[in-house]
Amino acid sequence: MVPAERCLSPPRCMSPPASVQCRIASGGRILCECQCSAAGLKVNESTVELISPTRRDSPAEEREAGGHGGGWGRGGGGEDGVSCVLYQEEEGIATLTLNRPKSKHAFNGALYLRVVQLLETAERSESVLAVVITGSGGYFTSGADIKELQRQSISPVPMIQQPFGVFGSAVLRFPKLLVAAVNGPAVGVGVTLLPHCDLVYAYGGPPRTTSNASREGDVGGRRRHGIPAAREERAAGVKEGATLWTPFFRLAIVPEFCSSLTFPETLGLARANDMLIMGRKLSAQEALSSGLVSTVVTADTEKDFLMQVKHSVRQKVVETCFATESVRTFKRMVWRDRRPRMLRVFAEECGELDKRMQAGHPKAALKHLTKDPPARRSKL
């Protein structure tokens, strides 16, 4: 149980601390009741739970919802906190499927905390050795929920104690194998998550055949004449597959989820800055050559892609001798020096993000971007 002294953070807060035994929601930190409320949580006896959404976005608003480069979130958002992530355990593998299709699986407070809860479930399950995180319907995730950022007020609760901070801490401390199956475009936190995964698979689109090779050749010809490649590829029926995009600089936020460290270490400084500052979008093959992705999988459909990923993990990990002992031992050894360093960098980045949020920079940048004429701005 949490000690009975009163909370002094935020300043002048005199509410008693919540009796938090559940580190799923609190990340192991002592939160007072007002902190819980600001973070989109509610105190219920000795646990902390998600606050049930009090409003639902209209269909028109839902269609407009999307993501961007950053990743935080305080409230429950417009979609149900349970159904926003689907969970399945099968033959040693737990699959977490992000499921906010109207916003392309944008992360809001409910989604962050639901992932944390399900990671706890997978950790407690003796039969689960690996967790696969993927998206549904052609998207991995569009990043943080822009609408939530635009409507939320400045919070006195530090970012590290908000759902994004709880999510990041849970991922960094997860003791079992964590696998990303990037089934389509990944933006922001969907990209910065990848260096913390033990294996990263990216969907490379359908296998190359004579017919689609011919279409790709036609696309190449149009590209040489100055026609935008992505638009022509879609028109020609060539599936794009996974892409990785971190437009942090244009949104007036900072590198998040340890990307100020993991990107230069993994990609090299020049390529890291190309992504973090210039907003360069990587294809699956470029991500593979850069080291952000471990394997590119071609498959006729995204469903086939996910089946291949799980088959590979099951065959090479779950079905091996002494897999249970090996997974925890390997994870502990690989992360023994890495984890403390990542937690420190994560806290520093959250502190810098707090400063930007307090100054109102991200909201102002979003307002500026949405006011730009469509012809002069890239789609978020």
Residue 344 backbone class (left: φ over 0; alpha: ψ -120 to 50; beta: rest): alpha
Most confident listed range (37-51, 59-73, 115-129, 225-239): 115-129
What is the arithmetic mean of pLDDT over 186-212?
89
Least confident of 19-23, 74-78, 126-130, 205-209: 19-23
Least confident of 67-76, 251-260, 331-340, 349-358: 67-76
Rounded CA Rg of the chain: 21
Domains of the chain and CATH, by start: 1-51 (no CATH), 65-205+240-376 (3.90.226.10)
Has residue 223 got a pLDDT over 90? Answer: no
Give 29-58 pLDDT, tens digit per residue: 445 544 454 444 554 433 334 433 333 333
pLDDT of residue 8: 34
pLDDT of residue 359: 86
pLDDT of residue 209: 65
Separate counts of helices (H) and strands (E) for the chain: 16, 13
Token reading at 21: 């035994």
Most confident listed range (100-114, 181-195, 322-336): 181-195
Percent of the chain with pLDDT over 90: 52
Give 97-116 pLDDT, tens digit per residue: 999 998 899 999 889 999 99
Going by pLDDT thresholds of 50, 70 and 90, the confidence category of residue 71 is very low
Q: At a CB cut-off of 8 Å and minimum separation 6, what does 200 contact?
A: 179, 180, 182, 194, 292, 293, 294, 295
**DSSP summary character for residue 314:** I
SS3 250: helix
Going by pLDDT thresholds of 50, 70 and 90, the confidence category of residue 212 is low
